[in-house]
Structure 1
Amino acid sequence: MEPIKFWEFTGNVCAGLGYERPRIKVPAVAVLPVAHAIQWAYNLLGTYGMKLPVLIPSRIRLLSGNRSFSCAKAHERLGYTPIVSLEDGLKRTIESFSHLNAENQPKRDGPSKASLYLGNGRVADTLLWKDTKKTLIVLLVLMGIYYSFISSNSTIITATSKLLLMAAIFLFVHGRLPEKIFGYKIEKIHPSDFYWTEKKSYQVAHVLASFWNVGINILESLCKGKDWLVFLKVVLSLLIIGFIGTISLHSLFVMGVPTTFLGFYLYEWNEEALDGLVSDALSYGYKLKSQIIHKVTGPKLD
């Protein structure tokens, strides 16, 4: 029996069950920090009913090991000769696990949660790689913005003027292009695309007014000095804003863009596991919040 590599064997199993072979390879070094964070969360929340996650360091090391399956040593020392070939054995194994076949799995009805969170429109198609061409174009534009403005350490006014200059050149050149080039139709940008309708303007104004009223209500609550929960939320929010403010635009762009494109894509494929993890974390957070409030405010006296 010829030796076979682990991932080749795994790919054959996936293909036999009707699933797509793994194509994307992520370095273990990049995944291990995430796995350690998930393991830490499990150690913290396991006592509250959190299930053992799939992505843990031990499994990453198991999957990333460079090894092959071979019975050469058994043949050499014991005279073992396999009765069933690897292909036949794999076929029989897959047939015995027919309930795991892709055709027998429940189909998802409607769009995913990630798509709904993103508005189930062009933004969702771009970030979730539904339209690969559009996603690649957006990534190229972001790379151009990064190398032209962010990495060059330009001031805000200089970067804005460069961006507007590039936009003006693009719009002018795009407007002079013919409707078809080599048989490909060029979609023209209509001036009305830049106008805000009265309804949209009202919605934006309504949102701004709502935020303003929420801020006024928070200030009013702080002035009374009675609601500890509001006070803790304000302090925590300001600390987070202060932390974000210390991050440079360069670091924010470098971390934010890959996280956005990969985060929603991975969430779409692991909705149940991630939702369960978030639910467990929120449950623990609510319990911790109750304990803190109880200690701060003290027991109520009748």
Structure 2
Amino acid sequence: MVVTMTATASDVAYGDGSETRTCVVLGGRGFLGRSLVTRLLRLGGWIVRVADSSSHSLQVDPSSASDSILFAALSSGQASFCHVDVRDTSQIIKVTKGADVVFYIERTDIDTHDFYNCYMIIVQGAKNVINSCQECKVRRLIYNSSADVVFDGSQDKLIWDESFSCPGKFPDVLIDLKFQAEGLIRLANNIDGLVTCVLRPSNAFGPGDTWFVPLLVNLAKSGLGKFITGSGENMSDFTYAENIAHAHICAAETLDSRIVSVAGKAFFITNLKPMMFWEFVSLILEGLGYQRPFIKIPTWIVAYVLSLLQRIHEESHFRIDKYSPHSIVQLASRTTTFDCSEAQKHLGYSPIIYLEDGIKSTIESFSRLAKDSSFMRDNNFKEQSKAVKLLGSGIVADVLLWREIKRTLLCFLILASLFYWFFLCGRTFTSSVAKLLLLVTVTLYGYGNLSSKIRAFAIKRISSSCFEITESTVKNSLRSVSYIWNRGIRHIKLLGKGEDWSKFFKVTVFLYFTKWALSYSLAVFVGIAMVFAFTAFFVYEQYEPVIDGLGEVLFYGIMESKELLRRNLRTLIASFLQN
């Protein structure tokens, strides 16, 4: 059941602030905003004005735990909702009039490809919020920033604290603009009676997360969730959403009593328990039924693939993601832990939810995204490997995968003997074939003249049918030859038209590889192929997941490189023809 409430000016209960305190949560329907609203309502003593720009009407689901609390508060008048666009000062003034505290939590669904819109929402929005609070005589303003404002991704840092200066250049436009907004909030402290405070949570997660957990699930579904960027030993701080909400309330309470030690300052907020980034990712994915990451990929390879993606998609005006790929790589490969002692000392903050409990509740809240992998686990032993399927699940598979060691060694010795006979004995290929046929003829003739019994052993005769070729076999062979011939002619015609750039690329690579192979002696090529056949398939079967993963990354990089080459080649040819 979903209840929809339309936001109007009358929906905002201003209150007089004599018995209960009135607060405004700007961005109250976002990921962190919902947690803050829910905690304020649970604590009591607050009239909460939920302000958000996501829609003009508020949709609540009474079956949801957090929404049920909000639904009851809306019905009793303890909470109200109003649509507010931070780019419009008049709308902010309408909702902040008579409030004691404003919690400003920006929306996260901003289109980063529209810089002007980002600037207006983040930077100009912060200016509008400050001006509105000063005009409405709001006493306290708490701004939710990010711990990323001190991290430029250039180096690992074990512990950051508030004494570190922010970098001059940011790898992500959102972080750059958020840093500017944070500076405006802090500079507005003690102007026209307004005291401000900035919180910098690190890697927020929890129920309702719209970015991190969905991103991990999408990567797992696409098959890319098995990769670890870098060494996999980088440490990170993660902060549960309800702890971030608790930190905001601590900051609001502290601004009333210890203004000097808090006002105008920024504080890192964490769960006080750093852990390896990829261990956290593994716990989330395993909890949802997906395989934990286990294949380590060098950071430069991931960065190269992402840079290709970014360049190609920018040229085609196609968006790959609303988040910076560079930021994702840095987050996944760098050590970034933060000192939260200042928040503990001055704000009286300490986590109210342990990290383990937060991970557990997050997994439970995303049960809809879970993968039912019990069938795969129970039946995995019955499934044939890709190597077996590739080799046809017959005698060839048994030989090349070393299922029967005696048979494999016998086949290898026979092939090694033939290799020596044709390539290493010093004869020409024609004379080697002639002598082999002579040897086979003499052997068959001698076998045919043997007695039917030799010392009580029966000699089984070879049937003449073994040397006959059926009419159907001849027809099928001719059909195969004609099919290959016609297919080759069709490909040549397509190349002659000059329309299929993908086929041109494939033929070019094949011809170059053939030229490279023929530049060596045929003996070397055949020897390498024989050794490869008896080792590669066996190794592939033993390390199939790892090799498949590396192959996917390599294939993805090649395809993106081919697309980039095709795009640039077409432009160069067109420019050449015009000139």
Could you say which TM-score interval applies, normalised by the shorter chain?
Answer: 0.5 to 0.7
2:517 — aligned with what?
244
* Candidates 137, 143, 147, aligned match of 2:420: 147
**2:433 maps to amino acid:** T
Moved more, 113-122 or 291-300: 291-300
2:437 — aligned with what?
164
* Candidates 533, 546, 554, aligned match of 1:260: 533
1:298 — aligned with what?
571
CA distance in 2, matches of 1:285, 1:187: 56
Shift of 1:150: 1.0
2:357 — aligned with what?
none
**1:128 maps to amino acid:** L
* Equivalent residues of 2:452, 2:458 under 8 A apart: yes
1:285 aligned to 2:558?
yes
Shift of 1:174: 5.0
Per-residue Cα deviation, 1:126-160 (whole angstroms, up to 9, x for no partner)? 11112222212112212222332211232121011
**1:45 maps to amino acid:** I
* Equivalent residues of 1:228, 1:293 under 8 A apart: yes
**1:286 maps to amino acid:** M
**1:254 maps to amino acid:** G
CA distance in 1, matches of 2:456, 2:407: 19
1:45 aligned to 2:45?
no
Per-residue Cα deviation, 1:264-294 (whole angstroms, up to 9, x for no partner)? 1111111111112212211111111111111
* Equivalent residues of 1:128, 1:261 under 8 A apart: yes
CA distance in 1, matches of 2:525, 2:390: 22
Shift of 1:178: 7.7
Shift of 1:263: 0.7
Q: What does 1:1-302 align with in structure 2 at a 5 Å threshold?
A: 42=298, 45-47=301-303, 48=305, 107-175=380-448, 189-298=462-571
Instruction: Identify if the C-alpha distance between structure 1 residues 255 and 287 changes in structure 2 by more than 3 Å, giving closer, same or farther.
Output: same
The number of equivalent residue pairs is 208
Instruction: Identify if the C-alpha distance between structure 1 residues 178 and 154 changes in structure 2 by more than 3 Å, giving closer, same or farther.
Output: same
CA distance in 1, matches of 2:388, 2:456: 33
* Equivalent residues of 1:45, 1:281 under 8 A apart: no
Gaps in structure 2 of 5+ consecutive residues: 1-294, 307-376, 575-579
Identity %: 29
CA distance in 2, matches of 1:232, 1:239: 11
**2:496 maps to amino acid:** C
CA distance in 2, matches of 1:146, 1:260: 14
| TM-score scaled by length of structure 1 | 0.58
Instruction: Identify if the C-alpha distance between structure 1 residues 277 and 156 changes in structure 2 by more than 3 Å, giving closer, same or farther.
Output: same
* Equivalent residues of 1:114, 1:264 under 8 A apart: yes
CA distance in 2, matches of 1:187, 1:272: 47
CA distance in 2, matches of 1:186, 1:282: 55
**1:292 maps to amino acid:** L
Shift of 1:110: 4.3
**2:407 maps to amino acid:** K
Instruction: Identify if the C-alpha distance between structure 1 residues 179 and 293 changes in structure 2 by more than 3 Å, giving closer, same or farther.
Output: farther
**1:46 maps to amino acid:** V
Structure number with the higher helix fraction is 1
CA distance in 1, matches of 2:490, 2:547: 34
SS of 1:298's partner is helix
* Equivalent residues of 1:180, 1:186 under 8 A apart: yes
Per-residue Cα deviation, 1:186-229 (whole angstroms, up to 9, x for no partner)? 87654433444344333322322222122211221232233333
Instruction: Identify if the C-alpha distance between structure 1 residues 294 and 130 changes in structure 2 by more than 3 Å, giving closer, same or farther.
Output: same
Instruction: Identify if the C-alpha distance between structure 1 residues 273 and 187 changes in structure 2 by more than 3 Å, giving closer, same or farther.
Output: farther
* Equivalent residues of 2:423, 2:429 under 8 A apart: no
CA distance in 2, matches of 1:226, 1:260: 37
CA distance in 1, matches of 2:459, 2:546: 42
Instruction: Identify if the C-alpha distance between structure 1 residues 271 and 235 changes in structure 2 by more than 3 Å, giving closer, same or farther.
Output: same
Shift of 1:256: 1.5
**2:301 maps to amino acid:** L
CA distance in 2, matches of 1:219, 1:265: 37
Instruction: Identify if the C-alpha distance between structure 1 residues 105 and 280 changes in structure 2 by more than 3 Å, giving closer, same or farther.
Output: same
CA distance in 2, matches of 1:181, 1:270: 50
| TM-score scaled by length of structure 2 | 0.32
**2:517 maps to amino acid:** I
**2:543 maps to amino acid:** N
Instruction: Identify if the C-alpha distance between structure 1 residues 106 and 170 changes in structure 2 by more than 3 Å, giving closer, same or farther.
Output: farther
Instruction: Identify if the C-alpha distance between structure 1 residues 273 and 210 changes in structure 2 by more than 3 Å, giving closer, same or farther.
Output: same
Larger RCO: 1 or 2 (CA < 8 Å, sep 6+): 1
